[in-house]
Amino acid sequence: MSASARASGARPNRLRLLIEVPAVIVLFVMMIHVTANALLRAFASSPIQNTLEITQYIYLPIIALLGFIAAQQRGEHIVADLVTHYFPRPVRRGVLFAGYTVALIVSAGFAWFGLEEALHAREIGQTAGVSTVVSWPVLFLVPVVFAVLTVQFGIAAVRALRGAEDEDGDGDATVAGDIDGEIQAGHSSTVPTGTTSDSEKK
């Protein structure tokens, strides 16, 4: 690996920390909150008020939205490349570019729609369900997250067009070829040794 590649690998690590550390903190706070609520409900008959609303409207949205960015940054979204790794390189690049472009457009639309909804929620002072827990500040995370995803998908589209993902695709094709070879070898080895072919019978 070159020095430039190592440097580019160090920068995303800082970005991952900025994304993942808050998500982990919120996750642990949610676990402690829910556990404390369950214990107090069971042994003291005094549960923490609005635990369900806080979990549903604050904790979980933060964890899920930050998880979108972290998964894209790590390249850990589910990929079903059952067909694309058989394509020639130019076709594979075009398919990946088109897919990332569609994802970019959708993410940009969600960011714009999320911003409008967040501004409207702030105007009306939206709360979590019928409780008094203020939930509208969390909605501003939606346009921020999808704006970041838009940038990430744009970078991924450019990388795909330049062939940056060809190495991964070639590795997948090699693995698929090895698997096909092993399957064929397994079929040939399963022929019973006590049987004879039609030519031998003749």
Q: What is the DSSP string of 157-193?
A: HHHHHHTTTHHHHHHHHHHHHHHHHHHHHHHHHTS-T
Span 157-189, pLDDT tens digits? 999 888 877 655 454 444 445 555 555 655 555
Handedness of CA 107, 109, 114, 115 (dihedral sign): positive
d(CA 155, CA 143): 18
Question: Across residues 144-163, what is the average pLDDT?
Answer: 92
List beta partners, residue 127.
134
Say if residue 152's pLDDT is above 70. yes
pTM: 0.73
Strands of the chain, DSSP E? none
- Going by pLDDT thresholds of 50, 70 and 90, the confidence category of residue 5 is very low
What is the DSSP secondary-structure string of 65-76?
A: HHHHHHHHHHT-
Q: Which residues contact 104 (CB under 8 A, 6 or more apart)?
A: 150, 153, 154, 157
pLDDT for 127 equals: 93
pLDDT for 171 equals: 47
Work out the mean pLDDT of the chain and round it to a whole number: 81
- Going by pLDDT thresholds of 50, 70 and 90, the confidence category of residue 66 is very high
- Going by pLDDT thresholds of 50, 70 and 90, the confidence category of residue 130 is confident
